[in-house]
């Protein structure tokens, strides 16, 4: 299935490309891959990456090699809500292991897995720069900090509500 | 004394009008009346050292910038804050975005950059909106765009998001990423000051460094240099985390003792639950961990202070580093092996894979540490671990190899019997919260 950006997205992308000097439009690749991933339901497939290559007038391989390098680009489909829970040192000192275990038990998934209903993916993350507000996770564009089991319950409930799913 | 966070408490300071009302953009007015070289000279006089971790003098870095005729130059702000324990740049950008923009305008003028980028880590997605809003406000008020304040100086600032790669905090990797490539560090020389972004002369500076240019211009370099101590001039932001009562961002004048910083209510406010202090990593995960006995006093028995020189007193044998100011505190129950294991996992994950010592070595260290932590280690593993880190250090293109080796080396150097205990007590080693008590501060816990 191939994607095509809406007119509004095309304009957004063209504005990004216009920031770069003539002939240096490849600099826009990472920002545009973010847009493409969002448009494609949270991950990048080959047709999407080829589409981006075409937009920037570069070879598909130049897109693949970048997309596979950066952690934020998902090469496999993910759930509607991706819980990226930090587990590096400072979060570990404040109990991130327990939070990860709690999420695993609650959703019956392990690291990298998605729930059968396609709603949740657990993706352990390395330091997200919120060490003083640990334990924490990234959910979409925002951070959820000072996590407790109760807060995790609330987040999961809110996500289900937003998705219009009755448990 | 606060220079960067002076106005942080003011409600709505994110907003241009309020920022301006509290003295914002005075530094631009002042700097644009000087010549670019005079601005560089002020920064040199200030003694400001790079706040990203390396501590290289900023004025000197600026003076290395090549200026070939007809070739554009660029300033790039390094906002790819990813060093575990460090979250100060995020605070600056989130709450004082105009301070960064003001610093960037002054710095761009000094360096002759008409096209300046902020490269921000991809996870700080909501901060991109805050910065872009601030840039738009600055532009609407004539501080950016064409012919700024009638001086003929043009400048545009754009924010570019990364996509989750610690290595892009290394300046040549950051440049590669800005060019739309994998974040593989370049071999130096040529240094970015000669051939950087698109092979043009480029300066890459940390967010806090750029923000510090604003008080330097407002006060003058000479006055700024009077704050602090010795070659640690000005103020430094410390992001404090781990087992402390008051985690957060603190601005210090580098004259505070480490003990005061941890126990005083003005800063970290002591250790929660009346526990004792075991160890500390004072400058982000890459700098050596030190046990309490070497933290408050140097090996010579002198008080250790929160500045570049005092923290590194004794070298790596008994000292550590100021680094990025990511201050991680460990209470007596924390397991050093487990913490070192999570750091090794971090570096193994973040290695770009270009140099084999780092690519293979970080994974190897991670696996050895995982075995030790899970009660599957052998005594010989400890020596093997030491050996592996020695073979990474200094043998890679960029400092990520060193950054991965140092925490492992320091953990073994200072906490060897805790590693040995994990071998001799395999069953108990798997318990998560374990700390050999003799490392903890033997004194009674100060009241908090």
Is B81 within 8 Å of A94 when comparing Cβ atoms?
A: no
Nearest to A164 by CA among A117, A108, A110: A117
Q: What angle do CA B443, B447, B448 make, to 5 degrees?
A: 125
Instruction: State whether residue B249 sits within 8 Å of chain A by CB.
Output: yes
For residues A120 and A86, membership in a common domain is answered with yes
Q: Which residues of A touch B354 (CB under 8 A)?
A: none
Q: Which residues pair with B297 in a beta bridge?
A: B303
DSSP codes, A58-97: --HHHHHHHHTTSTTS-SS---SEEEEEB-SHHHHHTTHH
For residues A97 and A154, membership in a common domain is answered with yes
For residues B201 and B118, membership in a common domain is answered with yes
CATH code of the domain containing A48? 1.10.10.1590
The pLDDT assigned to B1 comes to 87
Q: Which residue of A has its CA nearest to B183?
A: A69
Is A129 within 8 Å of B86 when comparing Cβ atoms?
A: yes
Of B279, B303, B331, which closes a domain?
B331
Three-state DSSP class for residue B291 = strand
Which residues in chain B (60-79) have CB-CB distances under 8 A to chain A?
A: 72
pLDDT per position as a tens digit, B218-258: 999 999 999 999 999 999 999 999 999 999 999 999 999 99
Is B343 within 8 Å of A62 when comparing Cβ atoms?
A: no
For residues B321 and B354, membership in a common domain is answered with no
Which residues in chain B (282-301) have CB-CB distances under 8 A to chain A?
A: 285
The pLDDT assigned to B274 comes to 87
Structural domains of chain A, count: 2
Q: Is residue B392 part of a domain?
A: yes
Is A31 within 8 Å of B160 when comparing Cβ atoms?
A: yes
Q: How far is B314 from chain A (nearest CA, A)?
A: 25
Confidence band of A165 (pLDDT split at 50, 70, 90): low
Q: Is residue A18 part of a domain?
A: yes
For residues A11 and A58, membership in a common domain is answered with yes
Say whether pLDDT at B367 is over 90: yes
For residues B219 and B78, membership in a common domain is answered with yes
Q: Is residue A39 part of a domain?
A: yes
% of chain A surpassing 70 pLDDT? 97
Hey, how many other C-beta atoms are within 10 angstroms of the C-beta on B247? 23
Q: Is residue A75 part of a domain?
A: no
Q: Which residues of A touch B86 (CB under 8 A)?
A: 129, 131
Which of A32, A82, A111, A126 should we substitute to test contact with B (largest number of B Cβ atoms within 10 Å)? A126
CATH code of the domain containing B253? 3.10.20.600
CB-nearest partner of A93 from B86, B87, B339: B339
Is A89 within 8 Å of B123 when comparing Cβ atoms?
A: no
Say whether pLDDT at B267 is over 80: yes
For residues B326 and B341, membership in a common domain is answered with no
Q: How far apart are CA A73 and CA A58, in angstroms?
A: 19
Q: Which residue of B has its CA nearest to A24?
A: B179
Nearest to B398 by CA among B323, B347, B327: B347
For residues B360 and B309, membership in a common domain is answered with no
Which of A89, A98, A133, A146 should we substitute to test contact with B (largest number of B Cβ atoms within 10 Å)? A89
CB-nearest partner of A29 from B90, B180, B346: B180
Q: Which domain holds residue B382?
A: 336-438
Average pLDDT, chain B: 94
Of B331, B366, B392, which closes a domain?
B331
For residues A86 and A62, membership in a common domain is answered with no
Q: Is residue A74 part of a domain?
A: no
Among the ranges given (A67-76, B110-119, B406-415, B422-431), the one the predictor scored with the smallest mean pLDDT: B422-431
Structural domains of chain B, count: 3
For residues A55 and A122, membership in a common domain is answered with no
Q: How far apart are CA A34 and CA A85, in angstroms?
A: 20
For residues B242 and B219, membership in a common domain is answered with no
For residues A92 and A139, membership in a common domain is answered with yes
User: In residues, how long is chain B?
Assistant: 448
CATH code of the domain containing A144? 3.40.30.10
pLDDT per position as a tens digit, B272-320: 998 999 999 999 999 999 999 999 999 999 999 999 999 999 999 999 9
Which residues in chain B (121-160) have CB-CB distances under 8 A to chain A?
A: 121-126, 156, 158, 160
Residues A135-164 have a mean pLDDT of 95
Q: Is residue B7 part of a domain?
A: no
CATH code of the domain containing B404? 1.20.1440.230
Q: How far apart are CA A114 and CA A72, in angstroms?
A: 16
For residues B313 and B348, membership in a common domain is answered with no
* ipTM score: 0.94
Which of B80, B136, B342 should we substitute to test contact with A (largest number of A Cβ atoms within 10 Å)? B342
The pLDDT assigned to B448 comes to 46
Of A67, A93, A114, which closes a domain?
A67
% of chain B surpassing 70 pLDDT? 98
DSSP B264: S
For residues B125 and B171, membership in a common domain is answered with yes
pLDDT per position as a tens digit, A40-96: 999 999 999 999 999 999 999 999 999 999 999 999 999 999 999 999 999 999 999
For residues A95 and A130, membership in a common domain is answered with yes
How many interface pairs between A and B have CB atoms less than 8 angstroms apart?
141
Q: Is residue A122 part of a domain?
A: yes
Q: Is residue B29 part of a domain?
A: yes
| Cis-peptide, bond into residue B190, ω within 30° of zero | yes
Distance of CA A39 to the CA centre of its chain: 12
Q: Which domain holds residue A159?
A: 81-163
Q: Is the pTM above the cut of 0.90? A: yes
Q: Is residue A73 part of a domain?
A: no
Q: Is residue B10 part of a domain?
A: no
How far, in Å, are A128, B145, B277, B340, B358 from residue A87 at the CA level?
9, 42, 22, 12, 21
Of B312, B331, B350, which closes a domain?
B331
Q: Which residues pair with B305 in a beta bridge?
A: B257
Among the ranges given (B183-197, B336-350, B373-387, B415-429), the one the predictor scored with the smallest mean pLDDT: B415-429
Q: Are B271 and B329 in contact (CB under 8 A)?
A: yes
The pLDDT assigned to A97 comes to 93
For residues A89 and A159, membership in a common domain is answered with yes
Q: What angle do CA B395, B399, B403 make, to 5 degrees?
A: 100
Residues B204-216 have a mean pLDDT of 97
Is B326 within 8 Å of A128 when comparing Cβ atoms?
A: no
For residues A93 and A157, membership in a common domain is answered with yes
For residues B25 and B151, membership in a common domain is answered with yes
How far, in Å, are B104, B132, B169, B222, B279 from residue B97 at the CA level?
11, 9, 20, 26, 34
């Amino acid at each position: 299935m191939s994607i095509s950006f809406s007119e509004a997205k095309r304009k957004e992308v063209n504005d990004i490309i216009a920031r770069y000097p003539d002939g240096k439009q490849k600099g826009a690749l990472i920002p545009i891959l973010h847009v493409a991933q969002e448009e494609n339901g949270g991950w990048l497939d080959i047709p999407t990456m080829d589409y981006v290559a075409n937009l920037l007038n570069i070879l598909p391989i130049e897109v693949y090699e970048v997309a596979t390098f950066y952690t934020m680009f998902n090469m496999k489909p993910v759930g509607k809500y991706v819980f990226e829970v930090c587990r590096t040192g400072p979060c570990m000192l404040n109990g991130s292991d327990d939070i990860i275990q709690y999420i695993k038990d609650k959703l019956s998934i392990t690291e990298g897995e998605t729930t059968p209903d396609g709603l949740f993916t657990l993706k352990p993350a390395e330091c997200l720069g919120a060490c003083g507000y640990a334990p924490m996770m990234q959910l979409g564009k925002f951070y959820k900090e000072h996590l407790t089991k109760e807060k995790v319950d609330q987040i999961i409930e809110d996500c289900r509500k937003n998705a219009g799913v009755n448990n | 004394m606060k220079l960067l966070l002076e106005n942080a408490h003011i409600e709505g300071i994110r907003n241009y009008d309020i920022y301006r009302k509290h003295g914002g953009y005075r530094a631009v007015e002042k700097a644009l009346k000087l010549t670019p070289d005079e601005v560089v000279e002020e920064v040199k006089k200030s003694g400001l050292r790079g706040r990203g971790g390396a501590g290289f003098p900023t004025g000197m870095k600026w003076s290395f910038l090549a200026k070939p005729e007809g070739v554009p130059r660029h300033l790039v702000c390094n906002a790819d804050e990813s060093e575990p324990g460090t979250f100060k740049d995020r605070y600056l950008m989130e709450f004082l975005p105009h301070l960064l923009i003001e610093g960037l305008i002054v710095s761009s003028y000094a360096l002759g950059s008409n096209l300046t980028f902020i490269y921000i880590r991809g996870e700080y997605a909501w901060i991109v909106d805050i910065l872009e809003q601030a840039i738009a406000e600055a532009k609407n008020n004539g501080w950016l765009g064409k012919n700024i304040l009638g001086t003929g100086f043009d400048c545009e600032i754009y924010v570019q998001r990364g996509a989750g790669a610690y290595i892009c905090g290394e300046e040549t990797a950051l440049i590669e990423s800005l060019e739309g490539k994998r974040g593989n560090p370049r071999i130096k020389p040529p240094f970015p000051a000669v051939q950087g972004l698109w092979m043009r002369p480029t300066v890459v500076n940390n967010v806090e460094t750029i923000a510090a240019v604003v008080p330097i211009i407002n006060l003058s370099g000479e006055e700024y240099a009077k704050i602090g101590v010795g070659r640690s001039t000005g103020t430094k932001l410390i992001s404090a985390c781990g087992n402390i009562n008051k985690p957060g961002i603190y601005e210090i004048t580098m004259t505070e003792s480490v003990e005061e910083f941890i126990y005083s209510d003005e800063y970290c406010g002591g250790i929660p639950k009346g526990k004792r202090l075991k160890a500390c990593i004072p400058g982000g995960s890459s700098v050596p961990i030190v046990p309490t006995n070497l933290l408050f006093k140097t090996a010579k028995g002198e008080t250790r202070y929160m500045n570049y020189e005092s923290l590194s007193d004794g070298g790596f044998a008994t000292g550590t580093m100021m680094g990025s100011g990511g201050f991680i505190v460990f209470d007596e129950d924390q397991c050093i092996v487990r913490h070192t294991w999570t750091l090794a996992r971090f570096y193994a994950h973040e290695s770009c894979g270009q140099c084999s010592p780092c690519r293979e070595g970080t994974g190897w260290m991670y696996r050895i540490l995982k075995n030790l932590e899970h009660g599957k280690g052998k005594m010989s593993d400890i020596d093997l671990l030491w050996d592996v880190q020695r073979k990474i250090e200094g043998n890679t293109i960029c400092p990520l190899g060193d950054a991965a080796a140092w925490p492992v080396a320091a953990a073994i150097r200072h906490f060897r019997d805790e590693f040995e205990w994990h071998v001799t007590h395999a069953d108990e080693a798997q318990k998560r919260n374990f700390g050999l008590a003799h490392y903890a501060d033997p004194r009674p816990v100060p009241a908090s």
